[in-house]
Amino acid sequence: MRAACPLPPHAGTALSIVYLCIAREQVTIKQGRQPMIHLAVLVVAVHLVWLALVILGALWTRGRPLWSVLHVLSLLWGIAVEAGPWPCPLTLAEQYFELKGGWAAYHGSFLLHYLNAIVYPDLPGWVVACGGVAVCSLNLGVYCWRLRSAMLLRKTRH
């Protein structure tokens, strides 16, 4: 027996966006496998929050040295995953839960699968990957500018 994927009542969250994408594709879940699908959706939501932190983190980290270091490390990780052959652990977790839930897991990166399908239809994967690297590089540029400004300020004080 197959049950339709229910939509959550709390619209506007990352989970509801993912559920709406699932519903749009009219995906059904086999009875008894819903927990695995819900875990896959939760991983997707965590992935979306992670991406938002990577993309917009430089706006939030000013004056927070520990968060700045963590954000720079996340940017370097993002560039390595997009430009290198290494898969993202969140993508692997999502694919695992999808397979255990009875769905055919996608192959490739999270960005390529979701953003390409939703935001950038008909763009080659290398374009999406280059966009990801460009966003991370732009954020790193903000940190370089902040560091340079701080160093110049210290020079003028001495």
Name all contacts of 10-19 with Cβ < 8 Å and 24+ positions apart. 13/45, 14/44, 14/45, 14/48, 14/49, 15/41, 15/42, 15/45, 17/48, 18/44, 18/45, 18/48
- Distance in angstroms between the alpha carbons of the first and the last residue of the chain: 75
Q: Which residues contact 45 (CB under 8 A, 6 or more apart)?
A: 13, 14, 15, 18
pTM for this one?
Answer: 0.63
- pLDDT tens for the 158 residues of the chain, in order: 333 334 344 434 445 555 555 554 445 555 667 788 788 888 888 888 888 888 888 888 888 889 999 999 999 998 898 888 888 888 888 888 888 888 776 666 665 566 556 654 577 778 878 888 898 899 899 899 988 988 898 888 87
CB of 125 closer than 8 Å to CB of 112 = yes
Evaluate whether 132 touches 78 at the Cβ level (below 8 Å): yes
